[in-house]
Amino acid sequence: MEMFLLLLSLLAFFRVSTTSIANATIQVQDEVVVRSESYSYEPSRLVMYVQTFKTPQGQLLSLLPLLQHHTKVTHIVLASIHLHEEPGVIRLNDDPFNSPTWDTIWEEVKILQNNGVKVMGMLGGAAGGTFIRLNGTEAEFYSYYHPLLDLIQKYNLDGLDIDIEERVRINVPLRLINALRRDMGPNFIITMAPLASALSERGGQNLSGFSYFDLDIFATVPGSDEKLISWYNGMFYGGFTRGPPIFQSIVDAGWDPARVVMGVLDCSDDGQPNGFVRIERLQENIRNLRVMYPSFGGIAGWEYYDAGMSDGDVYQPWR
């Protein structure tokens, strides 16, 4: 079988010339121009979430194969960033950003960015608490927000994927998104990660408690229609990946297909039972979606370290 990311090269129109990679920093650099040009013609994104930074054998997982194997990955999302109870205590999984655990990752992030890949952080996720901490007075909010902003700037993240899996009022994401836009400017990418069902119908199943329909109406640049949320990495797990219908119902509900990225599980161990769809089926679904919606927003995979493993492959997560 052709593995996960390889098939997703279907999404790309432009091919970069093949380079053999002996020195990732230097040789991959030639691609910069080609890759970034291709993105301006090709709205489809290939987003890869990374949360487990070790191989199944326990070795440090390198992100560079995503470049070296020409996977066409456009965005890498480092997951998950949590705000802990004491303001300013912020960790990527179990460790602060400046922990030696992450030294290699930050080096790789620079290489990826130099080669046209955007590297974002994911805030929140399954472990709760982060967003409840942002539901306070202005002073309380900023005591948590400013240290987060400092890290985003210091580690030069290109964006933040806001994954709210706890019930909060709509002004929690709104205040955060407005603050990020004000402080990081229009080039900073702000995305969110709702359940697909929270986009397919008002009142649909959701983990965040507020309506994404309402949020998207409010989350605009003041005095204009410009959206603050660049796109949604919808979680199309469970029964949702099976075919175009859920994506179609999202578009029918009024969402621009270019702003909806289909998030899927890369391996059957990564989520709910039955959430995983074998690669041939996924490939067919993507083809159908691209025909139906030429501006189809793209694909996101959760997650990198075991991508393809349920498809009977040897361990090569970059494929």
Ligand X SMILES: *[C@@H]1O[C@H](CO)[C@@H](O)[C@H](O)[C@H]1NC(C)=O
Task: State which residue, 211 or 268, has the beta carbon closest to ligand X.
Answer: 211
CB of 196 to ligand X, least distance (A): 13
Task: State which residue, 135 or 248, has the beta carbon closest to ligand X.
Answer: 135
139 binds ligand X (CB under 6 A): no
> Which residues in 157-196 contact ligand X (CB under 6 A)?
169
Alpha-carbon span 88 to 143, nearest angstrom? 7
CB of 166 to ligand X, least distance (A): 8
CB of 210 to ligand X, least distance (A): 5
Name 83's bridge partners: 90
Alpha-carbon span 188 to 149, nearest angstrom? 12
CB of 217 to ligand X, least distance (A): 13
CB of 81 to ligand X, least distance (A): 20
Q: Figure out which of the listed residues 19, 52, 113, 211 binds ligand X, where binding follows CB under 6 A.
A: 211
Q: Which stretch binds ligand X (CB under 6 A): 206-214, 253-261, 292-300, 310-318?
A: 206-214
Q: Figure out which of the listed residues 14, 15, 25, 154 binds ligand X, where binding follows CB under 6 A.
A: 25
Alpha-carbon span 191 to 263, nearest angstrom? 12
User: Mask of contacts with ligand X, 59-98, x by CB under 6 A?
Assistant: ----------------------------------------
Task: State which residue, 63 or 207, has the beta carbon closest to ligand X.
Answer: 207
135 binds ligand X (CB under 6 A): yes
> Which residues in 219-238 contact ligand X (CB under 6 A)?
none
CA distances from 18 to 21, 34, 67, 288, 319 (A): 9, 12, 11, 28, 15
114 binds ligand X (CB under 6 A): no
Q: Which residues bind ligand X (CB under 6 A)?
A: 22-23, 25-26, 132, 135, 169, 203, 205-206, 210-211
